[in-house]
Amino acid sequence: MARTHNHPGEQAAPDPIRLLDIRDTPLSVDEVFRAVGDDAAGGMALFVGTVRNHDDGQDVGSLGYSCHPTAVDELRRVAEKVVAEFPVRALAAVHRVGELDVGDLAVVVGVSCAHRGEAFEACRKLIDDLKHEVPIWKHQRFSDGTEEWVGAC
């Protein structure tokens, strides 16, 4: 049976962007999960990015994130593009700045849609575009004493 999009729950919510922030405090998966909850959503997709202990064959000792003052505005622009492309019921994205340890949450994004496929695709677009377009930079310090800056855009 072909799916129709006549029911209001099949369509994007009028104001689906529920949470956008860049913070210097620990992030919460539960907060993002609650933000994207919607009774019309049959699928919720979350992505959680953590600080790993290695990069490009080197051991990471620590890292810090910093951002441009326009980063929240750019995050909103990215979120609005996702909402325009997919029938999003709810969307949330938070990114951490400051000094982080291995295992800390660096970014949590979530999207809910009427169907799982749309939720997966929208969530993937959200995190990929966030990483490529929002001016957030990572300063990695390796265990051998070297360091590098990695730009998001």
Tokens read off for 131: 């990483």
Rounded percentage of the chain residues whose pLDDT exceeds 90: 86
> What's the average model confidence in pLDDT over 57-86?
96
Closest Cα partner for 26 from 107, 121, 120? 107
Average pLDDT, the chain: 93
Give pLDDT, residue 119. 98
Rounded percentage of the chain residues whose pLDDT exceeds 70: 93
Residues 99, 126 contacting (CB under 8 angstroms): no
- Secondary element (H or E) of residue 88: strand 88-96
Residues 39, 117 contacting (CB under 8 angstroms): no
> What's the average model confidence in pLDDT over 123-130?
98
Residues 21, 72 contacting (CB under 8 angstroms): yes
Per-residue DSSP letter, 98:
E
Per-residue DSSP letter, 132:
H
3: confidence class by pLDDT, cuts 50, 70, 90: low
Domain 9-53+69-133 has CATH 3.40.50.720: no
